[in-house]
Amino acid sequence: MARLGAVQALYQMEHSGQGVDAVVREFVAFRLGGEIEGSLLREADTDFFADIVQGVVETQRGIDPFIQKHLSENWTLKRLDATARAILRAGIFELIRRPDVPWRVVVDEYVEIANSFFEQGETEPRFINGVLDASAREIRTDELTGEFTG
pLDDT tens track for 63-88: 998 899 888 888 888 889 999 999 99
Residues 6+ apart with CB under 8 A from 17: none
pLDDT, tens digit, for every residue of 89-117?
999 999 999 988 999 999 999 999 999 89
Say if CB 99 and CB 20 are below 8 A apart.
Answer: no
Whether residue 98 contacts residue 90, with contact meaning beta carbons closer than 8 Å, is answered with no
Are 14 and 94 in contact by the 8 Å Cβ rule? The answer is no
Measured in degrees and rounded to the nearest 5, phi and psi for residue 99 equal -65, -15
Fold annotation for 2-148: N-utilizing Substance Protein B Homolog; Chain A (1.10.940)
pTM of the shown model: 0.85
